[in-house]
Amino acid sequence: MRPVHVYNTLTRRKELLRPVNPPVVGVYTCGPTVYDYAHVGNLRAYVFADTLRRVLETAGYQVRHVMNITDVGHLMSDADEGEDKMLAGARRERKTPLEIADHYTRAFFEHAQALNIRRPTVVCRATEHIPAMIQMVRTLLERGYAYEIGDGVYFDVSRFAEYGRLSGLDLEAQEAGARVGVNPEKRHPADFALWRKADPQHLMQWDSPWGRGYPGWHIECSAMSMQYLGDRIDIHTGGADHIPVHHENEIAQSDAVAGHRVVQVWMHNEFLLVDGGRMGKSLGNAYTLDDLRQRGFHPLAFRYFCLNAHYRTKLNFTWEALEAAARALDRLWEAVYQLASCHRPGGRPPAELEEAFGEAVRDDLGLPRALALVWQVVRDEPVPAPVALDLLSRWDEVLGLGLDEAAAGRLGPVADPIPAEVLSMVEERRVARAARDWERADAIRQRLGDMGYTVEDGPEGPRVRRLRAIDAGQ
């Protein structure tokens, strides 16, 4: 196992990863709330978690990756207010919550797969772990960390001294400036729901010692992460927005039950901005993978786009930037394909190159630096083709950019089927060129260009290809 350093939000420092049970590394990733399609901001978070897993695996670790599917309890506001998102989704589409959850869960994994995101070792649904959550709430009550009031059971943040450490919040200061809590029975505005009592019409409810109801959103992650990874978890990942509320609450619940720190390292990816500003469903710029596909982008172009920036910096999504990523990836695929068709004798890859790649990715996931090395191998470095191909193939275990597929001609410019109409135009143009009818040949090329295709006249005749990577599945 090679040493891996990661940035820990809790200590605000880069740390050497020391798993509790090497070579196993337990990683818990906050998964989607399946009430709608994931947008590109969500997807960045999962690409990040996936690259973390891949880096750990190539470093020699055995990763036990657990991801939750939230299908109940996540209210419209993180402050325990509003409607349950699942119910809102169900009402919107006039379906049952279960149908909604199934549909969007399937869509989520389809999109994840298209992005070459490896499926977690364990995928767990909140609604299938209600008893574990109830047990946890019961323990918290028994130990005096929680109290019951009219509409549910709440965690008492005043009982947990470390509350606020992850986000650097000062509870006292918070209280002074806090807006008035909606629920006057709560002892402290930051107290959060562990269990909520439901009225009889509520669609999702379960029996509990506190009457019929449903779990608070945060408890599912504490219950499931500890069920599958034990009470000492190596890494927990999520988006930066979860630091102040969700993860703070998770720490409070889990640590209170375990009696010690449960999660060793907290890793958070920064937000994706759109056109330099916030992305939001209400702003109409919360694009989904299908939106990208409809604009002609291959899903892996988005993965490349994410890899090109460090996960802890804000990434500005613009169509122009995605276009740049798509072109770069397409050229990479083409270059790999060309390398694969060379049969010059090989050799050993320069050790420095290989070492540089490993060091980059094991240093808090330095994927942008790793990508720069990829281009060095492809372009500048005088590495023999078979060596370069071998190197890129192994590096792609981390990158996940489909380079083996590209080498085999199943991705990239050569892979996409060319419409018969286009092929016949190319043939028509070939004849025109043979007759030295340049005017006609150029006119045809112009029309092909308008259709999204380009023709290259090489020694072996014309070659036609589409202008950029598109999703062949569309």
Partner RNA sequence: GGCGACAUAGCCAAGUGGCAAGGCAGCGGUCUGCAAAACCGCUAUCCCCGGUUCGAAUCCGGGUGUCGCCUCCA
Burial of 200 (0-12, 13-18, 19+ CB in 10 A): exposed
86 burial type by CB count under 10 A (0-12 exposed, 13-18 middle, 19+ buried) = buried
Identity of the residue, 102 or 148, whose beta carbon is nearer to RNA in the bound complex: 102
State which residue, 24 or 438, has the beta carbon closest to RNA: 438
Judged by CB, which is closer to RNA: 153, or 339?
339
SS3 content of the chain, % helix, strand, coil (to 5): 45, 20, 35
CB of 14 to RNA, least distance (A): 8
Q: Whole-number minimum distance, CB 465 to RNA, in Å?
A: 8
Residue number, 195 or 305, with CB nearest to RNA = 305
Closest CA to 156 of 140, 169, 167, 177: 140
CA 191 vs. chain centroid, Å, equals 30
CB of 450: closest distance to RNA in angstroms? 14
Per the CB < 8 A criterion, the answer to whether 68 and 126 are in contact is yes
| Cβ proximity to RNA, 171 vs 203, nearer residue | 171
> For residues 1 and 178, which CB has a smaller minimum distance to RNA in the complex?
178
User: Which CB, 9 or 205, lies closer to RNA?
Assistant: 9
Separation of alpha carbons 184 and 283, rounded Å: 33
* Shortest Å distance, C-beta 23 to RNA: 27
Query: Could you give the residue ranges of the DSSP H alpha helices within 400-471?
Result: 403-407, 420-434, 438-450
Specify whether the CB–CB gap between 74 and 33 falls below 8 A: yes
The Cα–Cα gap between 43 and 49 comes to 10
Give least dist CB 167 to RNA, A. 6
CB 367 to RNA: min, Å: 9
CA distance to 139, 186, 213, 243, 251, per residue, from 156 (Å): 13, 9, 20, 19, 13
Q: How far is CA 213 from CA 34, 151, 195, in A?
A: 20, 9, 7
Least Å from the CB of residue 79 to RNA: 4
Residue with tokens 């990874």: 229
